[in-house]
Amino acid sequence: MKIQSRLTPYFFISGALIFLFVLTIFPLLYSLVLSFHDWNLTKSVSWEFVGFRNYWEILKNPVFWRVIINTFIFTISSVSLQFAFGLGLANLFNKEIKGEGVIRSAMVLPMVIPSILVGLIWLFMYKRDFGIINYMLGLLNIQPIAWLSTSMNSMAAIIIADVWQWTPFMFLLLLAGLRSLPTEQYESARVDGASSWQIFRYITLPLLRPVITIALVIRSMDAFREFDKIFQLTGGGPGVATETISLFIYRNGFRYFNMGYASAISYLTLIIIIIFSTLYIRVFQRREESKV
């Protein structure tokens, strides 16, 4: 009887564990083995053991490093812009407004549109000849911009589309955070004669830190593995100017069918993610400790 009750929780969670084991752990182990082999899906049926050769070739490949840099440029610029705009908007909306419910429903729509369609919509708007963005810029007397044909512009283009889609996420989270703050501290700070900026800097921001951390972690993870919008907007081009890790893996695996090579890239990516997410969480934890 006692043993049975000790095992009951494991029985309850076993279904979920089996699903996730088969769908994630097993494939990951499989691709770890595969990453030490040469296997072209279209050419041969047999795997050829090559040791660390795939890894060496990737590390020697300048495209890989370019792709890593692209991924970081995209992630850092998108997430910091979203954070800045989201924080601004949350403060802007943090008061009594008529029709707030409707306004908020409207504001969150961009982030629920499937990313692949966000890509399609922006592709249409970025078009050089008939795109609405260049037309609007023309009204402001700005020369039409070739959004998707130079390296700088296409990077800017994918970042802008991502900022449009995901700023509402930051806004929604930060607004929820602002609304849940206790009011007493504000009153006493105001009595003590603190300015609005001081109140924001020394009371609001520290209190918001947990929400900010969650928002930044979730957004960075998602931006880091972004595939859909870039696939749709630039396909990684021109050249490899906007190719991020996800597209690089996809190209090697499903365009060239080098499954071993692509698996090795996945593993290097996984290592990078683990290093950075650990650092990231550490930095945030240390900040929090030093505040206490």
In the region spanning residues 17 to 76, those forming contacts with other proteins, defined by CB under 8 A, are 17, 19-20, 23-24, 26-28, 30-31, 34
CB of 125 to other proteins, least distance (A): 6
Q: Look at the alpha carbons of 215, 125, 230, 67 in this order and tell me if their dihedral is positive or negative.
A: negative
CB of 186 to other proteins, least distance (A): 20
Contacts (CB under 8 A) with other proteins, residues 192-221: 211, 214-215, 218, 221
Indicate the residue among 59 and 188 with the shorter CB distance to other proteins: 59
**Strand, helix or coil at 99?**
coil
Among 2, 3, 9, 46, binds other proteins (CB under 8 A): 9
Q: What is the chain's length?
A: 292
169 near other proteins (CB under 8 A): yes
d(CA 268, CA 79): 23
d(CA 253, CA 35): 12
Q: Which two tokens stand for residue 270?
A: 């996984």
CB of 139 to other proteins, least distance (A): 10
Q: How far is residue 99 from each of residues 3, 168, 270, measured CA to CA in Å?
A: 57, 18, 45
Among 42, 46, 105, 141, binds other proteins (CB under 8 A): 105
Indicate the residue among 40 and 188 with the shorter CB distance to other proteins: 40
CB of 196 to other proteins, least distance (A): 14
CA dihedral of residues 28, 34, 40, 43 (deg, nearest 10): -120
Indicate the residue among 69 and 103 with the shorter CB distance to other proteins: 103
Give the amino acid at 150: T
Indicate the residue among 77 and 226 with the shorter CB distance to other proteins: 226
147 near other proteins (CB under 8 A): no
114 near other proteins (CB under 8 A): yes
Indicate the residue among 6 and 43 with the shorter CB distance to other proteins: 6
d(CA 249, CA 26): 19
d(CA 86, CA 77): 14
270 near other proteins (CB under 8 A): yes
CB 40 within 8 A of CB 259: yes
CB of 192 to other proteins, least distance (A): 26
